[in-house]
């Protein structure tokens, strides 16, 4: 029996994905030298777009190269929409307070 730590991100991802040691996944899926994905980390001075274009050129059309934002594009769009919705709500709430406070604004 293998004991693994629990890692939780978000319920939508937790029910779709499972993080396991590479050797365990290779045995489970009967993979020897095949890979279905690769994550790389960049240092702070690296330019994401330049590295991504270089990887796409190096790997060719048979591979898809996505950065973290492209991989989770819908999530980032939702978060951006929520941010604007909260901003709009707070601004309209502020305007309402301003009009009901006889010209005295706290916003």
pTM for this predicted structure:
0.44
Task: Please report whether residue 89 resides in a domain.
Answer: yes
Domain that holds residue 87: 72-107
pLDDT at 26: 87
pLDDT at 17: 77
Kindly list the averaged pLDDT for each block of 10 residues, start to end, along the chain of length 107.
67 76 87 82 92 94 88 77 73 59 53
Number of domains in the chain: 1
Task: Please report whether residue 27 resides in a domain.
Answer: no
Q: Do the Cβ atoms of 68 and 79 come closer than 8 Å?
A: no
pLDDT at 50: 95
What region does 82 belong to: left with phi over 0, alpha with psi -120 to 50, or beta? alpha
- Tens digits of residue pLDDT in 26-44: 899 898 888 777 888 899 9
Task: Please report whether residue 64 resides in a domain.
Answer: no
């Amino acid at each position: 029996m293998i004991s693994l730590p629990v890692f939780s991100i978000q319920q939508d991802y937790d029910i779709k994905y499972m993080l396991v040691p590479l050797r365990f996944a290779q045995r489970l899926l009967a993979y020897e030298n095949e890979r279905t994905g690769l994550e790389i980390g960049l240092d702070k001075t690296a330019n994401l777009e330049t590295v991504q274009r270089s990887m796409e050129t190096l790997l060719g059309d048979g591979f898809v190269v996505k950065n973290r934002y492209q991989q989770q594009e819908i999530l980032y769009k939702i978060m951006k929409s929520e941010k604007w919705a909260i901003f709009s709500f707070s601004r309209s709430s502020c305007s309402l307070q301003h009009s009901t406070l006889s010209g005295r604004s706290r916003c």
